[in-house]
Amino acid sequence: GEDVEQSLFLSVREGDSSVINCTYTDSSSTYLYWYKQEPGAGLQLLTYIFSNMDMKQDQRLTVLLNKKDKHLSLRIADTQTGDSAIYFCAESSYSSASKIIFGSGTRLSIRP
């Protein structure tokens, strides 16, 4: 079945770039997402990319998609303390668009 994998932790220095990586197994994935979860809160959609795109940029966020390797990454430029959160990679497909499959989440912590 579908599977989405991420590393559990990432620590970066304030002002540096953060790169969070994700791999997925469903070759029919149509949409790939990055969600952010702050402490004690639900998830909020940060950005998403269609599978026919290689890159999407939105202010400090850059999403890169390597469809051949089924690899997705989220780059956060100039990381700030407010970026501390858990970041979830997720995917869905036209064939199962009613199901959004999430990874385990990467906890991003910021060092001063």
Partner 1 sequence: NAGVTQTPKFRVLKTGQSMTLLCAQDMNHEYMYWYRQDPGMGLRLIHYSVGEGTTAKGEVPDGYNVSRLKKQNFLLGLESAAPSQTSVYFCASSPDPRVNTEAFFGQGTRLTVV
* Shortest distance (Å) from residue 27 CB to partner 1: 18
* Shortest distance (Å) from residue 78 CB to partner 1: 25
Which residues are registered as beta bridge partners of 71? 23, 66
Task: Give the closest residue to 67 by CA, choosing from 105, 20, 32.
Answer: 32
* Shortest distance (Å) from residue 98 CB to partner 1: 5
- For binding to partner 1 (CB under 8 A), which residues are involved? 4, 6, 8, 31, 33, 40-45, 48, 88, 92, 94, 97-105
- Give the span between the Cα atoms of 88 and 36, in whole angstroms: 6
